[in-house]
Structure 1
Amino acid sequence: MNKIAIITGANTGLGLETTKAFAEKNIEVVMACRNESKAEKAKAEILKEIPKAQLKILPLDLSSLDAVRSFAEKFKSEYNCLDILVNNAGLMIPPYGKTKDGFELQFGINYLGHFLLTGLLLEPLKNAAEARVVSLSSLAHKWGDIYFEDLQFQNNYDKQKAYGQSKLACLMFAYELDRRLKAQQLSVKSLAAHPGLSRTNLFRHLTGMMKLLTPFVYPFTQSAKSGAQPQIKAALDEKLAGGDYLGPSGFQEYSGKPKVVDSNAISNDKEKAKRLWEISEELCNFQYL
């Protein structure tokens, strides 16, 4: 039996490279993408490179909780089990905006949509022999905190802080999910990964000082293919444990081969993680584990 994987944002950047790596290993990939025409182009590109690739496109708009629910229902109507869920899709430092449900864009898309998606797919994950959930974080998880008093940045929008919060939330979610899975003695493992400094289209919204610094940072960056290696390893390396966090092994974790890395104290704050989980359940109107 071939393994089944879902990769969100599978048509570009890290998601595209992860899809190719899975296809090479005969893993059937459900490409969960917002833009179907871009997904079709990516699928054609992969099939040219890997003719044996088993790919299916299922539309997913993470900026709408209803769309997340529809995606999960559609997947479950066609598949009984899910071996790998890669919560990869993301948005980086855009101008202020809100999702269809009124959440700040980065918090809603990068984190909340994936929080709900994972919960809705728990049954097919449990049906697989040893399923894995891989959540994509970032070095930016160190940029700030979880701002419980203003999660949606309605008072003072700072796009960098909001991005940092969303990626810290993804990492705290990965750790808390693993604790909850272990507490219920489930065989599903939750891991996290970050790509270091990878050259993807996430950088399109850079402005001001960050844009000016880009030429100086560029020598430390790596390709999307290299940046995808930590999440690929997190999904496939059988030696890894639930709760592991993967990133590049080079200088400051900017680039290099993937390895297990540490994260900051806030990301390991269990009380904060529990509070974030409970608030996320309220915001999504969905409880699990």
Structure 2
Amino acid sequence: MQDKTVLITGANDGIGRATAERLAEKGYHLVLACRDETKAQRTADELVRQTGNELIDTIPLDLADLSSVRAASELFLAEHPRLDVLINNAGVYSDKLTLTQDGYELQFGVNHLGHFLLTLNLLPAMQCSNLCTRVINVSSALHAKAGIDFGNLRGERGAQAYDGGKAYAQSKLANVLFTKELDRRHGTELTTNCLHPGVVGTSLANKHGKLLTKTIWSLYKPFARTPKRGADTSVYLASSPEVREVSGRYFNPSQCLVKPSPTACNEQLAGRLWDYSEEAVRDYLL
């Protein structure tokens, strides 16, 4: 598999790290795109030692800063002739209203908007691949509890009205809508699928959560799926020949096709989100 290049966002921790390790074992050429360059390089060095696969590179990527996303895109395109698999894995959760560098609500900005821009900017590398290119978006079953509040994607309603759980669910709905719209627009050039990894014991809720959230999550984590198991469906979608021609679909933690929420299947909503996102990132498109 050394002729296949895979880019994974958020690959230095949690599900991303577990996904990287298993794909490294399969011999893929990996590019770890992470906000913390030191942690990314440490992860790359550890994976080389663990797997014997020396084809592991890193690039700096801060999904909360669209200029960083553009810079990461330019760096990748300059160093790699093609991209065979893009795994939009990185995610953030926050209990309090926080804005990205560009003024968008943090969870929407990182979990959706940054990945939207990265994917569009890397399309040239994916379109030139002579193999079946795959885009994989890590979503969540919580998408079913959300809608898209276009009037509050910049936190317009203020901190007192902010609900971190609803904002997270909204960002995960955006992942599914993006998956379906990307398939409609570019389905002849690549496949794109999304997944729910299960409830996985990562540090997601510990970074920006309130004390109560951190405490509850710390108590629950031992009973959650391990990151290795949480990576099962990402690895399956990235490498299995069974899904080579499957696109625009949503998979559960057992690698089974399931139907997402009715809202996630709304083509008009998906098109509106695409238009909104495209306008939001317009100045950073390559």
Q: Deviations for 1:253-282, whole angstroms, at most 9, x for unmatched residues?
A: xxxx33222211101110000000001011
1:276 alignment counterpart: 273
- 1:71-82 maps to which residues of 2 (within 5 A)? 71-82=72-83
Distance between the aligned counterparts of 2:284 and 2:39, measured in 1?
33
Q: Specify the SS of the correspondent of 1:258.
A: coil
AA aligned to 1:227 is G
Shift in CA distance, 209/263, structure 1 to aligned 2, threshold 3 Å: farther
Distance between the aligned counterparts of 1:131 and 1:100, measured in 2?
31
Distance between the aligned counterparts of 1:142 and 1:153, measured in 2?
21
Distance between the aligned counterparts of 1:76 and 1:197, measured in 2?
34
Shift in CA distance, 218/70, structure 1 to aligned 2, threshold 3 Å: closer
AA aligned to 2:167 is A
The unaligned stretches of length 5 or more in structure 2 are none
Query: Percent identity at matched positions?
Result: 37
Question: TM-score when scaled to structure 1?
Answer: 0.90
2:136 to 134, 137, 160: 134
1:246 alignment counterpart: 251
1:235 alignment counterpart: 238
**8 Å Cα contact 1:116/1:286 also seen in 2:** no
The unaligned stretches of length 5 or more in structure 1 are 249-256
Q: Specify the SS of the correspondent of 1:149.
A: coil
Distance between the aligned counterparts of 1:191 and 1:73, measured in 2?
24
Q: Specify the SS of the correspondent of 2:256.
A: strand
AA aligned to 2:125 is P
Q: CA deviation at 1:147?
A: 0.5
- 1:1-289 maps to which residues of 2 (within 5 A)? 2-128=3-129, 129-155=131-157, 156-182=161-187, 185-186=188-189, 188-204=190-206, 205-207=208-210, 214=217, 218=221, 221-240=224-243, 241-248=246-253, 257-285=254-282
Q: Specify the SS of the correspondent of 1:58.
A: strand
Q: Specify the SS of the correspondent of 1:111.
A: helix
Shift in CA distance, 262/53, structure 1 to aligned 2, threshold 3 Å: farther
Shift in CA distance, 217/259, structure 1 to aligned 2, threshold 3 Å: farther
AA aligned to 1:181 is H
AA aligned to 1:52 is N
4+ aligned runs moved over 6 Å, structure 1: none
Q: Specify the SS of the correspondent of 2:136.
A: strand
Distance between the aligned counterparts of 1:104 and 1:75, measured in 2?
27
Q: CA deviation at 1:243?
A: 1.2
AA aligned to 2:164 is K
AA aligned to 1:234 is L
1:252 alignment counterpart: none
Farther-moved stretch of structure 1 (142-151 vs 264-273): 142-151
**8 Å Cα contact 2:12/2:32 also seen in 1:** yes
Shift in CA distance, 210/67, structure 1 to aligned 2, threshold 3 Å: closer
Q: Deviations for 1:193-235, whole angstroms, at most 9, x for unmatched residues?
A: 1211000010204447755754885575210000011111111
Q: CA deviation at 1:283?
A: 0.6
Taking only aligned residues, the RMSD between alpha carbons, in angstroms, comes to 2.0
Shift in CA distance, 80/276, structure 1 to aligned 2, threshold 3 Å: same
Q: Deviations for 1:135-156, whole angstroms, at most 9, x for unmatched residues?
A: 1101221222100122223212
**8 Å Cα contact 1:10/1:39 also seen in 2:** yes
Q: CA deviation at 1:52?
A: 2.2
Paired residue total: 277
**8 Å Cα contact 1:198/1:221 also seen in 2:** yes
AA aligned to 2:202 is T
Shift in CA distance, 36/206, structure 1 to aligned 2, threshold 3 Å: same
**8 Å Cα contact 1:24/1:53 also seen in 2:** no
Distance between the aligned counterparts of 2:57 and 2:214, measured in 1?
36
1:253 alignment counterpart: none
**8 Å Cα contact 2:205/2:217 also seen in 1:** no
